[in-house]
């Protein structure tokens, strides 16, 4: 129901705006797509999809290839995404901490935030090694299959975890935990020890450790170190975990930042 006297109901989306955002989200998830592919994925009438694409092309949210038959995200998407990162207080406060962890470990470091059933990279530092892992700010990964995601899911009640990940989380590798009850057992262990790990659950040949980062009042972000499984052993785990915990604790000793509502 709308608040008295406002005529505004935040739970009822404007159809055209909702559909335009669905187009952008579809292109973000699937990359460059043809009109036919967008129609199949979105289920919009052809005329409506044409009108939406014309508007998005005019506003530079979407671009076409040389054949004018395929569509992709445009420069406006980058500008808006960059503006979000630039204005985020947690990202700003974490820069020196990311540098410190990267210097101590020599491996890839990420700051992540939970977004529904996914974790989104907000900031990163590259590994110093020639053999590096692909990652990018803005990349979304399934939370149930990543150390970053697990350490944030562990802050939620069990029924909320079930709602977020759904009854059948996808298997990304043979090691991915896809049984929700088993995932909840894993998350209980994360709560007890205060950190999460995963070995080849999200990507074959890759391992990760993550710790929660609490700089706000309501939600939890996370810091992680990721490395190829070939460079990982028991001593590596101890070094990486110490670097994460010590840098995180030093950062959290400062007063909390004011968080933006989602």
43 CB-near residues (< 8 Å, 6+ apart): none
Q: In CATH, which superfamily holds the domain spanning 88-252? A: GAF domain (3.30.450.40)
* pLDDT value of residue 253: 84
The per-residue pLDDT for 6 is: 54
Residue 4: per-residue pLDDT:
56
Question: What's the pLDDT at 148?
Answer: 95
Reported pTM: 0.80
**Sheet containing 62-64, strands listed edge to edge, beginning at the edge strand earlier in sequence:** 33-34, 70-73, 62-64
Per-residue model confidence (pLDDT) at position 3: 54
* Residue-by-residue DSSP string for 163-228: HHH-SSPPPSSTT----HHHHHHHHHHHHHHT-EEEESSSSTTEEEEEEEE--SSS--EEEEEEEE
Residue 131 has a pLDDT of: 64
What stretches in the chain show pLDDT beneath 70? 1-12, 131-132, 216-219, 255-262
- pLDDT of 8-66, one tens digit each? 555 667 888 889 999 998 998 888 999 999 999 999 998 899 999 999 999 999 999 98
What pLDDT shows up at residue 255? Answer: 52
Q: Which H or E run includes 84?
A: helix 75-87
- Domains of the chain, residue spans: 15-79, 88-252
Structural class in CATH, domain 15-79? mainly alpha
């Amino acid at each position: 129901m709308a608040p008295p006297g406002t005529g505004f109901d935040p739970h009822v989306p404007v159809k055209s705006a909702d559909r335009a955002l669905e187009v952008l989200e579809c292109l973000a998830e699937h990359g460059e797509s043809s009109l036919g592919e967008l129609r199949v994925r979105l289920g919009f009438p052809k005329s409506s999809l044409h009108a939406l694409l014309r508007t998005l092309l005019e506003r530079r949210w979407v671009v076409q290839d040389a054949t004018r038959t395929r569509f992709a995200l445009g420069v406006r998407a980058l500008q808006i995404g960059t503006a979000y990162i630039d204005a985020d207080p947690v990202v700003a406060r974490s820069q020196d901490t990311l540098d410190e962890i990267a210097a101590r470990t020599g491996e890839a470091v990420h700051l992540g935030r939970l977004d529904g059933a996914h974790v989104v990279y907000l900031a990163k530092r590259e590994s110093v090694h020639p053999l590096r892992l692909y990652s990018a700010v803005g990349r979304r990964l399934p939370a149930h299959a990543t150390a970053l995601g697990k350490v944030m899911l562990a802050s939620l009640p069990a029924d909320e975890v079930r709602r977020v990940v759904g009854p059948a989380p996808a298997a990304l590798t043979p090691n991915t935990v896809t049984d929700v009850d088993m995932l909840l057992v894993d998350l209980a262990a994360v709560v007890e020890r205060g950190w999460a790990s995963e070995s080849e659950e999200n990507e074959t040949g890759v391992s990760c450790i993550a710790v929660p980062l609490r700089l706000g009042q309501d939600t939890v972000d996370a810091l992680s170190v990721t490395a190829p499984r070939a460079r990982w052993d028991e001593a590596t785990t101890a070094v990486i975990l110490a670097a994460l915990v010590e840098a995180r604790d030093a950062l959290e000793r400062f007063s909390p930042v004011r968080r933006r509502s989602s």
